Structure 1
Amino acid sequence: MSLFLEVVPVERAVEVVRSIAPEIGTERVDLTAALHRVLGSEVRAPHDLPGFDRSVVDGYAVVASDTTGASEALPAMLTLRGRVEMGQAPPGTVEPGACWYIPTGGVLPPGADAVAMIEYSEAVGDEVLVGRAVAPGENVLSHDEDYAADTVILSTGRRITPQDMGVLASAGVTSVDVVRRPRIGIISTGNEVVPAETAPAPGQVRDANTYLCSGFAQEHGCDTQTYGIVRDDPALLRPVLERAVSECDCVLISGGSSKDVRDMTAGVIGELGEVLVHGIAVAPGKPTIIGRVRTTPVIGLPGHPASAYIVLFAVVRHLIATINGAETPFRLARMPLAANIPSAKGREDYVRVAVVDRAAHPVFGKSGLLNTLVRSDGFVVVPAGREGLETGEETEVILW
């Protein structure tokens, strides 16, 4: 088997991961636990909302035709019959020539079809002078104006926000079906990799990718399961990967994907399942592997954390979104480049930038440097068809 299969464009890699995303089903959760979860089925209004005609201002419930032609100079004079109390049904009806005081949110009494704002009305004893005409329905929220019974409140695939939770609660919906949180297995490989709490000897590096991948997966609505560090030995990786595949919806393996004689990840994936992609036209991150073992996607990430993160964003993000049934939003900003960014035509380049004085300053560094991840505020993408971006060019910055 060749060390690299045919290198594919990023767009093709995304198509592949979307095509192998497994369906993981839904679960019922309490509304208080639904924040940022993805709806697994649509939610319909169980009844009309708000359920009664109500005032949206403080004022007087009136028959609109009684105020026709009313003005400050010649107000309409109405008889005050009583007061609507909050949270209670009106004690009577509004007859022509009469009105009832009503607070914001109060139930509109039968017979009334509008509310005259208190700012344009004046109570004088048992009489109310209305200084501005109102039209039927003015300052009134109809009983089904928010949602009519059985209309869709939220659609399948929506990521639930705090606002959504409030609306659902107002409809009496206190639990929802959501997509089960995907479980992402994470394996680090490499003879040189040691646990993060270990003092590395010369030539060794601490395991950063387990934490990087865990944070990324959690940020995108997933649970994680870590499987530790595996040395560069196919016989050691094989059982760990078999276990991870049986327990997770997707597995990420960092390291072991580079084009050298120690490359083992593609071989093990191929033995247990199939390798679909080995090499993506992206920098950094070219030696990425996309495979599948039974129905579980397995992604081989570059060992360097900066490269691994770019692949997580450029490719794995789309896999997780397909499993979830919803994209995870990210922040974008348009600004000019402060310096040229060279690029090789035919590959997609992801270049870290720092935002200074409303301009994107490229953060260049030698391969292997970690500080560029924290010195930068995000990155720009140089399309595969370009040979770079020029100083002053307006570009889209994807912010961390």
Structure 2
Amino acid sequence: MERKEFRDLASPDDARAAIGSLSLEGGIDRVSLEDARGRVIVTRLDAELDVPGFDRASLDGYALRARDTFGADEADPARLEVVGEVHAGEKPDVELEDGQAAEISTGAVMPSGADAMVPVERTDTDGSGDGGTDVLIRTSVAPGDNVMFAGTDVAAGERALGPGTRITPRDIGLLSALGIDEVPVRGKPRVGIVSTGDELVRPGEDLESERGEIYDVNSYTIAAGVEDAGGEAVLYPHAGDERDEMERVLREAAGECDLVLSSGSTSASAVDVIYRVIEEQGELLLHGVSVKPGKPMLVGRLESSAYVGLPGYPVSAMMVFRTFVAPAIREAAGLPEPTAATISGRMARQERYGEGRLRLMPVGVVGDATGDPLVYPVDKGSGATTSLAEADGVVEVDPETDYLEAGESVAVRLFSPDVRPPTLLGVGEDDPTLNRLLDGLENPRYLSVGSRPGVRRLREGVPDVAVVAGPLDRDIEATELGRWSREWGLIVQAGNPREIEALADVVDRDLRFVNRTTDSGLRSSLEAAVDDLAADRDANARDVRGTIDGFDLGLRAHESPARKVIAGEADVGLGLRETADRLDLGFVPVGEQSVRVLANPDRTGKDSVRELKTALESGPNGD
């Protein structure tokens, strides 16, 4: 038999390029929530409901109308009539009127008519009322105090998880909270494993050492490496050195798998003929690489499958596999390269503590202008699922530490060794156009905190970009990457049965209105429009705002008011035309609003920031 000689060995980069030219993708799978851990999402998942799905009490105490407590203090408490009780897991059977309160448990649904609650420790009971019990309220509260409103954790319509997200136990919790039981994920590359050589014996079988037999080590170690890299390993019966049998097994594997890995029979000796099978039955892209160990490596195609031939010696086979093949499988599976379980970074801003207890602080990590890790706290409270979904790890703060200084070095214990800090950290306004822009970026993280907090965090130097909408209170030192316009106005029921024609109707008529929070850019534009209306009428702006039922109580995300309209809990909601169209609701336009993407001036050179700028220049809607 003619002997194959190694002449010009390929460089390691050429070997990587050859493997990179092969298609290893396994398609798309739909998996149950039980099987979703570790899989990679292929499309954005938006929240289809609010979490929590109802307004709930944050503490034990009394639900009431905030205005009934105005002016109350320890010396002069407000006296309210207790008209019922509401416990967690129960539907309230009481509706509060002026001067009334209901005893309420932590996590219970807020009864109709209540817009705040007072913790029990700021109250006293008094049985001297007319045949019942009164409660003395020894503090004043504002609307919304001590209430976790529907959608505070995750709001309907909000971006939950984006494409490319590798699902962690934290994400499973988020998906569970959203009621999602099946997830579209990237299919695992199916990898067929074939060991060659007449000398090989499967573990568990009898071994005849006198014949030079050895146990098949490579099939199992490579299979474990495939699974660890995110692929699905399929073991085939080992092939001997006889060409026809070798070709049969390889063809069987090629017909059933995305990638075939063989070990052994790759060298240039007369009996190692596997390279001849690939040359004649497929396409041999590369034979021989200038690495040690691993010189006899093969790369090619067999039928519709990718093919890589590994050396026969177990150490050589695994070294080549880990160096060249495992990264390709990870890329096809959408998985990152493994990293250390603990990293060191600098605090992005000062964080105060001083409670005298060990603090396990959830943190996120983002690269600064030079790529060094910046660490920032992520904390929405103990009841918020997204505190962990938006974090990368934990910093343990010593009980004696009063605060962490900006720039102070900290150790971050990652949630798992393969955690990928985001390539881009953005904060600010919640916007559907922005969601589409983020879909085109690799592993972004966006915190929809609102325009005003977004600007504040950008001033602190934490995020890469802030997205702001509407008028700002003051200028900010930042680089504008791009902008787009969105039409905002009043979202009403389909067909507009209340015949609402303009903002003046909300002021002049008895309509239930749902606003956005003061952090929202939409709220800022609404306030400016109401102030203009007041000026046209030569009226006091504060008085005009006060005539709108619900003006002072806002919801966080851009779809939340629309969802209230759908549920029949409001006649009018503040929102976007795009939201109304998507939810088949009516819309009354009020104005156009500019949405700007502002970058931290020190981070405009980051690859992810440049990619976002390019996407904006191409058109925020993909134009």
Q: Which of residues 79, 86, 89 is equivalent to 2:81?
A: 79
Q: 1:304 to 1:77 in 2, by over 3 A?
A: farther
Does residue 327 of structure 1 match 2:329? no
**Residue 24 of structure 1 aligns with which residue?**
26
* Matched residue SS, 2:255: helix
Out of 93, 106, 113, which is 2:95 matched to? 93
Change (3 A) 1:330 1:252: farther
Q: SS in structure 1 opposite 2:236? A: strand
Q: CA deviation at 1:59?
A: 2.4
Among 295, 298, 310, the alignment partner of 2:319 is 310
The structure-2 alpha-carbon separation of the partners of 1:193 and 1:137, relative to structure 1 and needing over 3 Å to count, comes to: same
Aligned to 2:575: none
Deviation at 1:246, TM superposition (A): 0.6
Deviation of the 1:71 alpha carbon: 5.1
Give the Å deviation of 1:331.
4.8
Amino acid at match of 2:327: H
- For residues 283 and 135 of structure 1, the distance between their equivalents in structure 2, rounded to whole angstroms, comes to 72
Q: What fraction of aligned residue pairs are identical, expressed as a percent?
A: 38
TM-score by length of 1: 0.72
Q: What is the identity, as a one-letter code, of the residue corresponding to 2:51?
A: L
Local SS of the residue matching 1:298: strand
CA contact (8 A) 2:26 2:190 kept: no
Deviations 1:282-336 (A, max 9, x none): 544343322222431111112222332233322222222233233375654679x
Matching residue's letter, 2:167: I
Closer, same or farther in 2 for the Cα pair 1:121/1:254, shift >3 Å?
farther
Name 1:117's counterpart in structure 2: 119
Task: Look up the equivalent residue of 2:35 and give its one-letter code.
Answer: A
Q: Which one has a larger percent helix, Structure 1 or Structure 2? A: 2
Structure 2 residue aligned with 1:155, among 157, 162, 167?
162
8 Å contact from structure 1 (residues 257, 302) kept in 2: yes
Deviation at 1:153, TM superposition (A): 2.1
Distance 1:251 1:83, change over 3 A: same
Q: How big is the shift at 1:248?
A: 1.0
SS at match of 1:230: coil
Q: Any conservation in 2 of the 1:26–1:177 contact (CA below 8 Å)?
A: yes
Match of 1:3 among 3, 6, 17: 6
| Equivalent residues of 1:58, 1:103 under 8 A apart | yes
Alpha-carbon shift at residue 215 of structure 1 (Å)? 1.9
1:179 maps to 186
In structure 2, the residue corresponding to 1:17 is in which secondary structure?
Answer: helix
RMSD across aligned C-alpha pairs, in angstroms? 3.2
Q: Answer with 136-145 or 65-74: which moved more.
A: 65-74
Please tell me whether the aligned partners of residues 40 and 157 of structure 1 are also in contact (alpha carbons under 8 angstroms).
yes
* Matched AA of 2:9: E
Secondary structure, counterpart of 1:163 in structure 2: helix
Amino acid at match of 2:316: S
**SS in structure 2 of the partner of residue 240 of structure 1:** helix
Larger RCO of the pair (alpha carbons < 8 Å, separation 6+)? 1
Q: Give the Cα–Cα distance (whole angstroms) in 2 for the partners of residues 276 and 131 of structure 1.
A: 81
- Do the aligned partners of residues 7 and 15 (structure 1) sit closer, same or farther apart at CA in structure 2, a change above 3 Å counting? closer
Structure 2: runs of 5+ lacking an equivalent = 128-132, 345-416, 419-623
Q: Distance in 1 between matches of 2:323 and 2:121?
A: 57
Residues 65-121 of structure 1, C-alpha deviations (whole Å, 9 max, x = no match): 444565556655443232113233322333444322222221122332223223444
Gaps of 5+ in 1: 336-398
Match of 1:387 in 2: none
Q: Within the alignment, does 1:207 sit opposite 2:216 as a pair?
A: yes
Deviations 1:171-218 (A, max 9, x none): 222222233343211100124322222324144321011111222223
Aligned length: 337
Q: Whole-Å Cα distance in 2 between the matches of residues 15 and 64 of structure 1?
A: 66
With over 3 angstroms needed to count, the CA separation of the structure-2 counterparts of 1:304 and 1:130, relative to structure 1, is farther
In 2 relative to 1, CA 109–231 (structure 1 residues): closer, same or farther, beyond 3 Å?
same
Match of 2:236 in 1: 227
- Asked if 1:198 is matched to 2:201, the reply is no
CA contact (8 A) 2:5 2:268 kept: no
Query: Which structure 2 residues correspond to residues 248-397 of structure 1 after superposition, within 5 A?
Result: 248-258=257-267, 260-280=269-289, 282-327=291-336, 329=338, 331-332=340-341
Structure 1 residue 141 corresponds to structure 2 residue 143: no
CA distance in 1, matches of 2:256, 2:72: 73
Contact 1:38/1:160, CA 8 A, preserved across alignment: yes
Rounded Cα–Cα distance in structure 2 between residues aligned with 1:94 and 1:14: 70
Aligned to 1:108: 110
Residues 275 and 55 of structure 1: is their aligned pair in 2 closer, same or farther, counting only changes over 3 Å?
farther
State the match for 1:338 in structure 2.
none
Q: Indicate the SS of the match to 1:36.
A: coil
- Is the CA contact 1:42–1:152 (under 8 Å) kept in the aligned structure 2? yes
Cα offset, 1:252, TM superposition: 0.8
Deviation at 1:4, TM superposition (A): 5.5
Q: Distance in 2 between matches of 1:295 and 1:334?
A: 42
Structure 1 residues 334 and 102 mapped into 2: Cα distance closer, same or farther (>3 Å)?
closer
